[in-house]
Structure formats: structure tokens, C-alpha cells
A = this chain, B = another copy of it.
């Protein structure tokens, strides 16, 4: 069997579907994002996507080898959205900080899609750009290569992991989400001090703190530690 997928660049014969849609990689990814935004991650199937596009489901296999390839394309689109309009200030700490918060915020604004792609390596355009930028921030700041790489890895994984985690919680079915939230008061608020003294002693603080994401504080902790490493490693400024 010869390859079914034709790379987007060398595509020339575009033929409308029965229902008049003219397909393209971009149209498919956009439609998929819209589908997920409107009906949740579980609404994303080849069959439904085909229906939303006005095409036979199997037509998608002319554009993506399988659903996994499609997922990667969607994930990369998200990474791109997160970086749109970002510019470096030259201060490594605030640059990393803004980059991290942007990734987190962007993924949270497309929670269902984030869940699907946050742990993938796409190797696509937007991803390589992000990698290059973050590595650039660190190396320009004077971190030696080996250290810059380790920090890059920890930083990126942390941003994506928190983003995926918070996105996943956001995209639970409303019933399950409310029930999970209620557990804090229903269970933790009622634990007796003799069996759970530390929870009992801090409960109001705990319940308040757990309502928001732990990411911003975790990010600042990481950046502080990195700053300490930098001065010790002999950086200046």
C-alpha cells in the first residue's frame, strides 16, 4: 500500500466533499479544537470530527496517518497559541515567569484539548520554537549548558504538568467536579483534632488555599532555587 497521507505542502488537488467542505490540515485542527471546546474531550472522535467537517470520517486519513498524528497537531496548535505575542524583556527570571504563566493560562483556556496533548512531544513548528526560546533565556543568562538543559527540563515539565493537571480538574463533568470540591468541607472540615491534628489546626487556611492552582507559588519556588544556583555557579549581574 502506498502512503495514504500527502504532506500539506505538496497538496494540489482539493476536491470538495459531498457537503461542500474543502478540507485542509488547518481546517481539521481548528474544527477539532472547536469541537472539543464545545462538547468536551470525549466528543473528539474521527467519526464526529468527520461529521462536523461535513466529510466522510475516513477522509481524515488523507491528512493524518491516524488519530495520534491529529492529536499531536492539536497539541502543537495550543503551544503556538500560548506563545503568540510573547516577547523577551532580557530579564531571565521574569521572562521564564511570564512564559510559564502563559503556558498555564493558555492550556486552562482550552482544558479539554490540553488534557489530550500536554504530555506529548510533537516535534512540530511551535514546539521547537518554544524550546529554542526557553533554552535561549537560560543560556543568555549565563547558565552553563549542562545546567541550562536540566533547568529547561524541570521548568517545562513543571509548567506542562501543572497545566495538564489543572485542565483535567476543570474538564471533569460538572457533577464530579462539584463533588470533588465539596469533599474539602464535607470530609476535611470534619476531621477531629485527635486523629488529624495538623489538618484540624489549619483547616480554614487549607480550604482557602486549595481553591486556586498551586502553580504560581511552585513556579516562584523553582525560580528562587534557580537563582540561588546561578549565583553559586558564578553568574554575575
Give A contacts to B, CB under 8 Å: 68, 118-123, 128, 131-132, 135-136, 139, 145-146, 148-150, 152-154, 156-158, 160-162, 164-166, 168-169, 172-173, 175-176, 179-181, 183-184, 186-188, 191, 196-199, 201-202, 205-206, 209-210, 213-215, 217-218, 220-222, 224-226, 228-229
Find out whether the CB atom of A199 lies under 8 angstroms from the CB atom of B162: no
Find out whether the CB atom of B154 lies under 8 angstroms from the CB atom of A214: yes
Set B152, B153, B214: member contacting A153, Cβ < 8 A: B214
Given A128-B187, A149-B209, 12 new contacts (CB under 8 A):
A119-B172, A121-B180, A123-B187, A128-B199, A153-B214, A158-B162, A158-B218, A161-B162, A164-B164, A220-B225, A221-B221, A224-B228
With A and B bound together, what is the CA distance between A191 and B149 in angstroms?
17
Q: Tell me which residues across on chain B come within 8 A of A136, comparing CB atoms.
A: 197-198
Set B132, B169, B202, B221: member contacting A145, Cβ < 8 A: B202
Find out whether the CB atom of B202 lies under 8 angstroms from the CB atom of A149: yes
Find out whether the CB atom of B150 lies under 8 angstroms from the CB atom of A183: no
What is the oligomeric copy number? 2
With A and B bound together, what is the CA distance between A166 and B120 in angstroms?
10
Find out whether the CB atom of B149 lies under 8 angstroms from the CB atom of A205: yes
Q: Tell me which residues across on chain B come within 8 A of A153, comparing CB atoms.
A: 209-210, 214, 217
Q: Tell me which residues across on chain B come within 8 A of A118, comparing CB atoms.
A: 165, 168
Find out whether the CB atom of B165 lies under 8 angstroms from the CB atom of A132: no
Find out whether the CB atom of B222 lies under 8 angstroms from the CB atom of A121: no
With A and B bound together, what is the CA distance between A153 and B128 in angstroms?
32
Closest 9 CB pairs of A and B: A123-B187, A157-B214, A123-B183, A161-B161, A135-B198, A221-B225, A161-B165, A154-B218, A225-B225
The residue on B at minimum CB distance from A212 is B153
Q: How far is the CB of A163 from chain B (nearest CB, A)?
A: 9
Also in contact, A202 and B161, with CB within 8 A (given A196-B128, A209-B150, A210-B153)? no
Q: Tell me which residues across on chain B come within 8 A of A201, comparing CB atoms.
A: 139, 145
